Amino acid sequence: MTVSAAMQRFEGPDKSNPWFAKFKYSTITGLGYEKGIVRRDPSAIIAIDGRYYIWYTRAAHPCTPVGFGRMTDELPATPWDLADVWYATSTDGHHWDEQGPAVQRGGAGAYDERGVFTPGILAHEGRYYLVYQVALSPNYRCTPESIAIAWADSPDGPWTKSPAPILEPDPSGEVDERGDPEQAAVKGAWDSLQVHDPELLYRDGKFWLYYKGEGIGYHHMESKWGVATADSPFGPYTKSPFNPVTNSGHEVVVWQYKGGVAGLVNRCGPEKNTIQYAPDGINFEIKSRVVVPPQAAAPLRLDDSDNTEPLSGFNWGISHVIQASSHLIKQGRDPLSLADIDEPWDFLIRWELDNDRREYI
């Protein structure tokens, strides 16, 4: 019988690929769209005593982002500027009760004066660890951004912040802080501009801090992921010599499976919109391709013993919807006049795997 290569794949591994995923979305209450409030970049969800907990970037802005050229102490450059980490709880994953701030910006001159945002959560041996991005003030397009940590004995806090960041950009490269990352005087390493989107996992007796890097001299959307490990959640963290461990991907989305690490590689690069797996946490391979994946997906984290299927740790969660207003500003609209329009406020929605005839649609 004559069978094409494509049909051989279809009748073989593609048809029963347990890594294949498609998604359905629904609105949520409590963290949905709200004029004047940005909610985005959620952490993974953890379940404690029958309640779901989630942390996320939250900002109350007087107007739509004005860009780096016009930002002030009150006017945000970006949707995630001048933000804090807030948290919410839920019993069903559909309705969420916003509880208030978990970790807030530091005072004048602090390493986190301009913002704390884009959190990741780890529950480990009765303690809770929040890792997140921190921004100095002023924070221009090419000001370094680092990753810090806070810990608490309860998911409701109070949180104690690390005295300094735990992960910094690579020190290579030279660029004008107010300029464009691509216009570098000296090109740096892939993560020399900023380190973002931390996710902290515990595996093989070590803390594995996955993060997104952007480099001096690279296009701003040429992001990739790296990993750094430590014996204590507070560090010191050693960046893997294999970094970057992906060649693509924006917000870091990782979960554990069979002793290894799986991830949704999203939005940027030649391998965007794939689910990948690294048995050793470092050497990722594509396992499936997906369409319309959740943005900045925050999956419900399961105990290792419940991660029995490739996507058990990526079954449902929360993701963000970004509301770009930059096109209106490019059209000449004054950002300060846009405070009242419905468009610019990022918000959170629910996603879940849609397993109905997933190989065909």
81 touches ligand AAL (CB under 6 A): no
346 touches ligand AAL (CB under 6 A): no
Contact pick of 105, 250, 301, 350 for ligand AAL (by CB under 6 A) = 250
43 touches ligand AAL (CB under 6 A): no
**Residue 2 C-beta: closest distance to ligand AAL, Å:** 48
Q: Which is nearer to ligand AAL, 117 or 208 (CB)?
A: 117
Task: For residue 23, count other CB atoms closer than 10 A to its CB.
Answer: 17
**Residue 322 C-beta: closest distance to ligand AAL, Å:** 8
Cα(264)–Cα(216) distance, integer angstroms: 25
19 touches ligand AAL (CB under 6 A): no
Contact pick of 84, 197, 199, 346 for ligand AAL (by CB under 6 A) = 197
Task: For residue 279, count other CB atoms closer than 10 A to its CB.
Answer: 14
- 236 preceded by a cis bond (ω within 30 of 0): yes
Q: Which is nearer to ligand AAL, 118 or 256 (CB)?
A: 118
The DSSP code sequence of 88-155 is EEESSSSB-EEEEEEE----TT-TTSSEEEEEEEEEETTEEEEEEEEE-SS--TTS-EEEEEEEESST
41 touches ligand AAL (CB under 6 A): yes
**Residue 179 C-beta: closest distance to ligand AAL, Å:** 17
84 touches ligand AAL (CB under 6 A): no
As a residue count, the chain comes to 361
251 touches ligand AAL (CB under 6 A): yes
199 touches ligand AAL (CB under 6 A): no
Q: At a CB cut-off of 8 Å and minimum separation 6, what does 44 contact?
A: 54, 120, 121, 199, 255, 298, 299, 300, 301, 317
| The two three-digit tokens of residue 312, written as one number | 């058990």
146 touches ligand AAL (CB under 6 A): no
Q: At a CB cut-off of 8 Å and minimum separation 6, what does 330 contact?
A: none
Binding residues for ligand AAL (CB under 6 A)? 41, 80, 117-118, 133, 196-197, 212, 250-251, 296
